[in-house]
C-alpha cells in the first residue's frame, strides 16, 4: 500500500453494538486495523498488553498526557483512564491502513476535529433507552448502580449524535451492519 490511510471511528453508548460492528468490519476488510487503546485498568484474565490494551499505570498515563502522546483520552467509570496513542495510529496510517477507533463521544469528536475529512465518524444509536437498558440487563454484567450510570451516560452521549458524519440506528443488527459496511466501503474507496 502506498497511499496514506484514514481514520474510521465507531461510537455508541455501552450496549449499543459498537463491539459487534467493530469485529465484523475487521473480519470483512483486510485493510482495516484496530487501534488498541491504552488504559489504567488492570488486565482481566486472558488479556495481553499490546493486544487487548496497552496497560499503563496512572503515572505513566499522566506522563503520556503531559507529553501530548494521546489523540484523545478520557476518564471513565471509577476513575479509570482510556486513550488512543498518537504514535500507534500514525504508524499504521503511514503504512496505508484504515485505522478503526472504538472510542467515546468526546474523544471521537476530538479525533474528527484533528483529521477532518480524513476521518469517518459513525454514531451507532440504540432504538431507545429502554431497548438499551434491556440489552445491558441481558449481558448480566451490570449491577444496579453501574446500569444506572451507563444509562445516564447514554442519554448524554446520544445528545451528541447529530455532530457525527452518520447516525445508524441499531434496531436490527443485520440492517445496521449493512449500513455501516456501505458507509465504510464508500469512505475507503474515495
How crowded is residue 145: how many other Cβ atoms within 10 Å of its Cβ?
Answer: 8
Confidence of residue 100 (pLDDT cuts 50, 70, 90): very high
Q: Please tell me the total count of domains within the chain.
A: 1
pLDDT digit string, tens, across residues 148-188: 888 998 999 999 999 999 999 999 999 999 999 999 999 99
Region 5-32: mean pLDDT is 94
pLDDT digit string, tens, across residues 23-79: 999 999 999 999 999 999 999 899 999 999 999 999 999 999 999 999 999 987 688
Q: How far is residue 111's CA from residue 101's CA, in Å, rounded to a whole number?
A: 9
pLDDT at 150 (0 to 100): 84
Residue 110 lies in a domain: yes
Residue 88 lies in a domain: yes
Q: Which three cell numbers stand for residue 123?
A: 454514531
CATH code where residue 17 lies? 3.40.50.300
* Residue-range definition of the domain harbouring residue 56: 7-188
Residue 95 lies in a domain: yes
- 98 sits in which H/E element: strand 98-102
Question: Who contacts 174 (Cβ-Cβ below 8 Å, separation ≥6)?
Answer: none
Residue 2 lies in a domain: no
The β-bridge relationship of strands 98-102 and 119-125 is: unpaired
pLDDT digit string, tens, across residues 116-151: 999 999 999 999 988 888 888 887 777 788 888 889
- 84 sits in which H/E element: strand 81-85
Q: How far is residue 126's CA from residue 171's CA, in Å, rounded to a whole number?
A: 6
Portion of the chain with pLDDT greater than 90, in percent: 74
8 A C-beta contact, residue 74 and residue 83: yes
Q: Which three cell numbers stand for residue 85?
A: 496513542
pLDDT at 178 (0 to 100): 98
Helix (H, G, I), strand (E, B) or coil at 8: strand
State how far Cα 61 lies from the chain centre: 19
Residue 1 lies in a domain: no
| Statement: residue 109 has pLDDT above 70 | yes
Question: Who contacts 92 (Cβ-Cβ below 8 Å, separation ≥6)?
Answer: 5, 33, 35, 99
Q: What is the mean pLDDT of the chain?
A: 92
8-state DSSP, 49: B
Residue 114 lies in a domain: yes
Residue 12 lies in a domain: yes
Amino acid at each position: 500500500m502506498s497511499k496514506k490511510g484514514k481514520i474510521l471511528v465507531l461510537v455508541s453508548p455501552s450496549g449499543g453494538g459498537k463491539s459487534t460492528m467493530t469485529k465484523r468490519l475487521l473480519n470483512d476488510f483486510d485493510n482495516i486495523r484496530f487501534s488498541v487503546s491504552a488504559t489504567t485498568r488492570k488486565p482481566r484474565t486472558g488479556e495481553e498488553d499490546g493486544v487487548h490494551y496497552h496497560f499503563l499505570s496512572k503515572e505513566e498515563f499522566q506522563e503520556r498526557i503531559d507529553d501530548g502522546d494521546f489523540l484523545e483520552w478520557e476518564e471513565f467509570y471509577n476513575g479509570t483512564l482510556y486513550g488512543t496513542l498518537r504514535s500507534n495510529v500514525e504508524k499504521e496510517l503511514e503504512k496505508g491502513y484504515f485505522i478503526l477507533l472504538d472510542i467515546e463521544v468526546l474523544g471521537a469528536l476530538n479525533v474528527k476535529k484533528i483529521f477532518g475529512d480524513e476521518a469517518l465518524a459513525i454514531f451507532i444509536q440504540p432504538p431507545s433507552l429502554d431497548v438499551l437498558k434491556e440489552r445491558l440487563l441481558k449481558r448480566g454484567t451490570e449491577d444496579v448502580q453501574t446500569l444506572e450510570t451507563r444509562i445516564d451516560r447514554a442519554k448524554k452521549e446520544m445528545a451528541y449524535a447529530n455532530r457525527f458524519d452518520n447516525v445508524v440506528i441499531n434496531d436490527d443488527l443485520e440492517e445496521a451492519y449493512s449500513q455501516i459496511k456501505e458507509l465504510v466501503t464508500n469512505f475507503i474507496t474515495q
